[in-house]
Amino acid sequence: MKNTQFIALIFTTLFLSCKSVSEPQLQNTIIQSVSINGTLVATGGSVFEVPVDSVVFHVVFSHNIDTHKINPDYLSINNQIDTSFVILPDTSKNSLSFKISKKLSNYTSYVLYFTSGSNLGVKLIDSYFYTFITRLDTTPKFPRISDDSLLTLVQKKTFDYFWSYGHPVSGLARERLGAGETVTMGGSGFGIAAIPAAIERGFITRVQGFERLNKIVNFLNAPTTDKFHGALPHWMNGSTGKVIPFGSKDNGADLVETAFMMEGLLTAQQYFKSGTADEQIMCANIDTLWRKVEWTWFQQNGQQQLYWHWSPTYGWDINMAIKGWNEALIIYVLAASSPTYPIAKSVYDNGWAQNGAIRNGKTFYGITLPLGEDKGGPMFFAHYSFLGLNPMHLSDAYANYWQQNTAHAQINYQYCVANPRKNFGYGPNCWGLTASDILNSYSASSPTNDGGTIAPTAALGSFPYTPKESMQALRFFYYVLGDKLWGQYGFTDAFNLNQHWFDNAYLAIDEGPIVDMIENYRTGLLWNLFMQNPDVQRGLTRLGFTY
């Protein structure tokens, strides 16, 4: 592990070159327990957040030992710490207590080793090792600024992922840093929704915002750009508009990604619709894209539910129904809002709501969760649909959505504070489980699928629901972890303090909610724009929502 030091505490004794026949045979011995600063740890295990200036070990053996028979030549601490430890008084004859007297380095992994063999007047019959990681350096990595200025800085740097790293031909968002020609529809929709916020905050001019959006709209409307019954694929080539398969049979329409794109387009359309003649032409072109999506086609031959995928070569083979509760409420809202292919309310009730089966109603950490899986699931459930859809006064037969999303965020926060898995760093300042990169893979982290990976988008995208807790996390990410986590486009995607891992990637799908939801927290701009759309209002009414 890079820049990792190891303490090797190797307890050995010199074998005698000649043994007397009368010498007693050493007892075969095992280590029964080890604690580091009072925390028990199994062999191969780890203890986190150990003070750099006070590390105490307590080791219990299965037989009595003799601390006088430790040979200092075989007790070493490497990496220039040498033999900086002190044997402590211990009243038990079968235990050893000692401490490191030298100050260690912050946030560094160390390993305590016991090698098998003769030592301490006994014969250790196995080898053991224990890892401990010292505390983070909490000194600010950047100069302190006001919380308001920090929010603006985060929005500006994050928006620049979509602006400076947008595809040069299509203007769409690349799927992730280093994705080349691969652009993503959902992430692009999130970036499009951010354009009005960027204009209002002075990151770009209105003319610049219009030109970028117009490039995107013209590219999507082009006859050479792949569309399937009006719907878009998950990925496409940013130069040619041809689908890039997301999976072996996922080479056609992705209705969920399409909805995220339409959410962004309708938000931006509302911003520009009363503008110049050129802006109004662009808005008419957005309307063309919107009207061409055949939402009812995705009922798969008239079923009372929507389906996620359709392929021109594999048809409905993936056969994934869109059922709640998850990130896809916006799909049913937009499908009901379509002026050309609207679904009936029964499709929403039977498909999305599963005739009420989406309800939960249980209490976690003293918080009642109206909908969805136990403990709420990954945080993106409360983000993606609500970049435009305003949950503040949104209710239907199944839930009040402000209560739902606030409960979800609070449960995610409280889980991290409770930290039942004892992950490094979890607490009031370090929380947020959602879909993100993990070490060597990708996963939808949640309280029921927690491997120790925190994604900044989870807490930062939750600003409207948990403003105090999200600000605490933002300060921690920026000031404490900023030397490891803050980069060209703001915060990188994720980190795992257990594993000393900080991602070097940026993902469009995670960058977008940071910009958009911080803006909704600060001004409600995107919510106000999207909710003013007459089609959306009709769709919400059709489904029985009050808003």
Does some domain include residue 418?
Answer: yes
CA angle (515, 521, 523) in 5-degree steps = 95
Measured CA to CA, the distance from residue 358 to residue 88 in angstroms comes to 59
Instruction: Check residue 101 and give its pLDDT.
Output: 84
Instruction: Check residue 86 and give its pLDDT.
Output: 87
Looking at the structure, do residues 409 and 430 belong to the same domain, yes or no? yes
Looking at the structure, do residues 167 and 125 belong to the same domain, yes or no? no
CB 310 within 8 A of CB 253: yes
- Number of structural domains in the chain: 2
Instruction: Check residue 2 and give its pLDDT.
Output: 41
0.75 exceeded by the pTM? yes
Domain interval for residue 254: 147-542
Looking at the structure, do residues 409 and 471 belong to the same domain, yes or no? yes
CB 503 within 8 A of CB 492: yes
Does some domain include residue 9?
Answer: no
Domain containing residue 163: CATH number: 1.50.10.140
Amino acid at 380: F
Instruction: Check residue 68 and give its pLDDT.
Output: 86
| 10-residue stretch averages of pLDDT, the chain, 547 residues long | 40 37 76 95 94 93 90 55 77 92 90 86 90 95 98 98 98 98 98 98 98 98 98 98 97 98 98 98 98 98 98 98 98 98 98 98 98 98 98 98 98 98 97 98 98 98 98 98 98 97 98 98 98 98 98
434: burial class by Cβ within 10 Å (0-12, 13-18, 19+)? Answer: buried
Does some domain include residue 3?
Answer: no
CB 459 within 8 A of CB 470: yes
Measured CA to CA, the distance from residue 330 to residue 376 in angstroms comes to 18
Instruction: Check residue 375 and give its pLDDT.
Output: 98
Output the furthest CA–CA distance in the chain (Å, rounded): 105
Looking at the structure, do residues 98 and 216 belong to the same domain, yes or no? no
Looking at the structure, do residues 403 and 487 belong to the same domain, yes or no? yes
Instruction: Check residue 102 and give its pLDDT.
Output: 85
Mark which of 110, 134, 158 sits at the end of a domain: 134
Does some domain include residue 445?
Answer: yes
Instruction: Check residue 17 and give its pLDDT.
Output: 37
